[in-house]
Amino acid sequence: MRPGDLGIESGITELRRRKRPIHFESQPWAPWVAIAGEGVQFNKNLSRSFRRTLRRIRKRAEAAGKIRFDAITESSRLDELLEIFFDIEYRGWKGRAGTAIRCHEATAVFYKEIADWAMRRGGLFLFLLNLSDKPAAASLCLRSGKTVFQLKAGFDESFAAMSPGKILHQEIIMYLYGSSGISVFDLQGECDPWKMEWTKRISKKGKITIYPHSLSGWGRYALESGWKDLLKKSKTANKLKAWLNKSKNETRHVR
């Protein structure tokens, strides 16, 4: 959820105001890019080092050959294009790990059915990036309302030196800036470092546990979750947590 989605936060506040035993746990999830204003300004808002990286890898890719970006929303060759996407994804770490779509026939059929369903409803985006006339990176997305959700993305590791994934996502974001009615590009999944290069905006995923408003309900809350909430409010516990995180970061730096 994004802040304010579905009124969850206000609902939790109201339950707590009524002294109901409730526990809420959340964690960062699904970074998202706001598609608002001008694409040129978006690029300027990226970190200086990341902008330099993008210029360097694009120059390297252009020196090796032509860069071609395609955004497919409908096609009579959808199955053929999806096979290209599956092949690109398979040629990355997901293929080695056995988690790529192509590794499981039932999974491939599922994604083909989803893509066909989305295309017939005007909600499909299949983005393909070719470098030197060869498929290098791809992203499968679905649109719902003003949001484009990225379901799957991958790149052929034989092009790793040119960082095709970064070039692809820059092209996608600029394409969405040029499209009407889109305000959010949701990257989905964990807040991986490569996603956080594009945005600092994140959603949250979490779990709400509401206990019965009774003596036994308060008892269960105290045993299962209440002590966690007390620790969160404890200044000493928060200082200890900050110290442990600092020590962990310093250890990583030394290594």
**Which residue is it, tokens 């040119």?**
162
Question: What is the tally of helices (H) and strands (E) in the chain?
Answer: 11, 8
Beta bridge partners of 128: 70, 138
Instruction: Give the model confidence (pLDDT) of 200-253 as tens digits.
Output: 999 988 888 888 989 888 888 888 877 777 767 665 545 545 655 555 544 443
Closest to 161 (Cα-Cα) out of 127, 192, 132, 201: 132
Q: Is residue 55 pLDDT above 90, yes or no?
A: yes
* Contact status, residue 69 vs residue 127, Cβ threshold 8 Å: yes
Instruction: Give the model confidence (pLDDT) of 168-208 as tens digits.
Output: 999 999 999 999 999 999 999 999 999 999 999 999 888 88
Closest to 71 (Cα-Cα) out of 127, 151, 130, 120: 127
Closest to 85 (Cα-Cα) out of 29, 33, 124: 124
Residue 179 main-chain phi, psi, to 5 deg: -95, 150
Token couple for 60: 């390297």
Assign residue 149 a region: left if phi > 0, alpha if psi is -120 to 50, beta otherwise? beta
* Contact status, residue 89 vs residue 154, Cβ threshold 8 Å: yes
Cα separation, 155 vs 162, whole angstroms: 11
Residue ranges of domains in the chain: 5-29+204-254, 32-196
Closest to 167 (Cα-Cα) out of 202, 132, 124: 132
* Residues belonging to the chain: 255
Cα separation, 255 vs 250, whole angstroms: 9
Alpha helices in the chain (DSSP H): 8-17, 39-45, 48-64, 78-90, 93-97, 105-120, 164-177, 193-196, 215-221, 227-233, 235-254
Consecutive H or E run containing 204: strand 203-210
Assign residue 132 a region: left if phi > 0, alpha if psi is -120 to 50, beta otherwise? left
Cα separation, 211 vs 229, whole angstroms: 14
pLDDT category, 145, cuts 50, 70, 90?
very high
Q: Which CATH number fits domain 32-196: 3.40.630.30, 2.40.50.100, 2.60.120.10, 3.90.1300.10?
A: 3.40.630.30
pTM summary value = 0.79
DSSP state of 122: T
- Specify the pLDDT at position 218: 84
Question: At 76, which amino acid appears?
Answer: S
**Side-chain-side CA neighbours of residue 42 (13 Å):** 22
- Specify the pLDDT at position 57: 97
Instruction: Give the model confidence (pLDDT) of 60-97 as tens digits.
Output: 999 999 999 999 999 999 999 999 999 999 999 999 99
